[in-house]
Structure 1
Amino acid sequence: MRSLAGLAAIVAAASVYLYVLSTHLPPGPKQLPPDTEGADAQELDFRLKFPSDLESLRELADTLKFYKRENYGYVLLLFCSAYLYKQSFAIPGSSFLNMLAGAIFGPWEGLLLACLLATSGSTFCFLLSSVFGKQYVVHLFPEKVALLQRKVEENRSSLFFLLLFLRFFPMTPNWFLNITCPVLNIPISIFFFSVLIGLIPYNFICVRTGSILSQISSLDDIFSWGTLAQLLAIALVALVPGAMIKHYSKTHLKVDGLDSNGAGPGEIDRKRR
């Protein structure tokens, strides 16, 4: 119970910090109707929240780009804090934040941020699981942990490439890998670099997509040569590294028995009943 209380305290403190940061917007350029003055202006302040669909993503991107004109440091701090919050506590939704990075900061700066934040956040999640959650992970997911443990032992000589394989292909969710690797006794250095390298194609796809979405204002823009070239580059980045890792895995890795969710054969049979 002590470990669970410690984790709850960290989550609560991080939540309060993020709430305070997101509700205290700094003064910025305002675009108000001509007849809006005084107290009415305060009512037009944007309420920041995590995007849940493409429409809310575009609205949030427009808001943060609006504030970034004069408050770049604040927007950067807010984005980094929100990203690390999601990654550290294994909260789904990193794809929307990656697209948001591309929409706000552009394709290259956004990609750099996404890679660094995804790696840092995953490492924080690894450390939190190592300190507070090992016994709970084993208790909640005994069969999945046992299956991954067998695969780690079978591929101990190619452990780094096994982790790359699991990042490239959705054999098991990224958040589950983050909380399980401490249980599997994965060295943190191998974990860190496998995340940094293994998530580059995924981050690139999401960031580029967000950058394109922020530039598209009509259907005609989708079929422009520039947009089509970017979509082709995204497809190549998605396919080439995955094909190379898959080819390597056929001759060097033993990954039989892993399904798309990281479940073993016994667990699959029970799900079908």
Structure 2
Amino acid sequence: MTPTAPRPILARLWPIALLIVLAAGAWWAFHDRLTFDTLRSSHAAMEAARDDNYLATVLAFIAIYTAVVALSLPGATVTTLTGGFLFGIWPGTLFNILGATLGATLLFLAIRYGFGRSLAVRIDASEGRVARIKQGLDRNQWSMLFFIRLVPVIPFFAANLLPGLLNVPVRRFVVSTFLGIAPGAVVYTSVGAGLGQVLREGGEPDLGVIFEPHILLPLLGLAGLSLLPVLLKGRAPV
């Protein structure tokens, strides 16, 4: 069987190049708008738009959240708070998770089809520690994917980048992202749901709430539980 010829570099890198160009343009145009100050100054207009056309506001919000995550723009936390502020804990949590998952998937696909596949093939064909690490991760993908989503100190961008580089199946990435970010999304969406009173009083939301013991410890417990299959099999991920 004749081996498949490698794709030209431009054919492999155009998705990533496109995201970089879009990210640079979006940052230049909107980096000063994805802030809590903007939310404070425009919350009344946002509420009016929601009340006038709920469905259009939902679709616009999910599209904006998707773009923020896919382009790795600063402001994901503010966007999550906005989802809670506009739509409440429910369905605000669902809208936040949908936007974050769609954005993460777009970034994941750009990385995977850009150079993730070729890198994974090269690692598999290589010898040494790096190849063994990847083999360990491949054997325990579900556990590791949930772990990096549940631990709140792992940057969201890194949790999207690594699976793309390791050629994780798309369905597995989407499912683990949607379910894995849900606990944290509930916490921040609930903070956003109480923003109305905070904004009227000129206060600031308590974004450190996720590190409170009564919230952080259950999240770490879930993260530890995600690694239980690895421990039971007696195989360290590295």
Residue 213 (1) aligns with residue 195 (2): yes
Report the structure number with the largest CA radius of gyration.
1
CA contact (8 A) 2:116 2:167 kept: no
> In structure 1, what is the equivalent of residue 217 of structure 2?
239
Per-residue deviation, 1:7 = 4.3
Query: SS where residue 140 of structure 2 aligns?
Result: helix
- RMSD over aligned CA atoms reads 3.9
The SS at the match of 2:72 is: coil
Matches within 5 A, 1:22-101: 50-52=33-35, 54-101=36-83
- Letter paired with 2:64: A
Q: Helix, strand or coil: the match of 1:181? A: helix
Contact (CA 8 Å) 1:86, 1:92: kept in 2 or not?
A: yes
Whole-angstrom distance in 1 between the partners of 2:171 and 2:214: 29
TM-score normalised by the chain length of structure 2: 0.70
Q: Which structure carries more helix by proportion?
A: 2
Structure 1: 5+ residue stretches without partners? 23-46, 139-145, 223-230, 257-273
Residue number in structure 1 paired with 2:227: 249
Partner of 1:38: none
Letter in 2 for 1:128: A
Q: Identity rate of aligned residues, in percent?
A: 21
One-letter amino acid of the counterpart of residue 244, structure 1:
L
Choose from 185, 194, 201 the match for 2:176: 194
Write out per-residue CA displacement over residues 181-215 of structure 1, whole angstroms, 9 at most, x where no aligned residue: 12212111111111011101111111111111223
TM-score (norm 1): 0.62
Between the two structures, name the one with larger relative contact order (CA 8 Å, sep ≥ 6).
2
- Alignment partners' CA distance in 1, 2:223 and 2:201: 37
Contact 1:129 1:182 survives alignment (8 Å): yes
Gaps of 5+ in 2: 1-8, 121-127
Question: Quick one: distance in 2 between partners of 1:64 and 1:130?
Answer: 36
TM-superposed CA distance for 1:171, in Å, is 6.1
Q: Does 1:127 align with 2:109?
A: yes
| Correspondence for 1:181 | 163
Cα distance in 2 for partners of 1:14, 1:170 equals 24
